[in-house]
Amino acid sequence: MPRYILVCQECAHKFEVFCSISQKDHKKCPKCNSDKITSVGDRGPGDSKAGLPRTG
């Protein structure tokens, strides 16, 4: 499963999710349950892969 780092726009809570790129758009903040979630990429140590497939 790919990892995505998401940030809540309501409370600025940052969290990671393990899901497909299509499912991450339906995630909610685990802290305030807001659905205003912004993805900040999947940057991680040791991962040199760049370029994500764009959908939609």
Measure the CA–CA gap between 34 and 56, rounded to whole angstroms.
23
Q: Is 8 in the site for Zn ion (CB under 5 A)?
A: yes
Instruction: Considering the complex, state which of residue 35 and residue 52 has its C-beta at the smaller distance from Zn ion.
Output: 35
Here the tokens at position 55 are: 């959908």
Measure the CA–CA gap between 52 and 2, rounded to whole angstroms.
11
Here the tokens at position 16 are: 């990671």
Binder of Zn ion out of 3, 11, 18, 23 (CB under 5 A)? 11
Residues 16-55 that bind Zn ion (CB under 5 A): 29, 31-32, 34
Contact residues toward Zn ion (CB under 5 A) are 8, 10-11, 13, 29, 31-32, 34
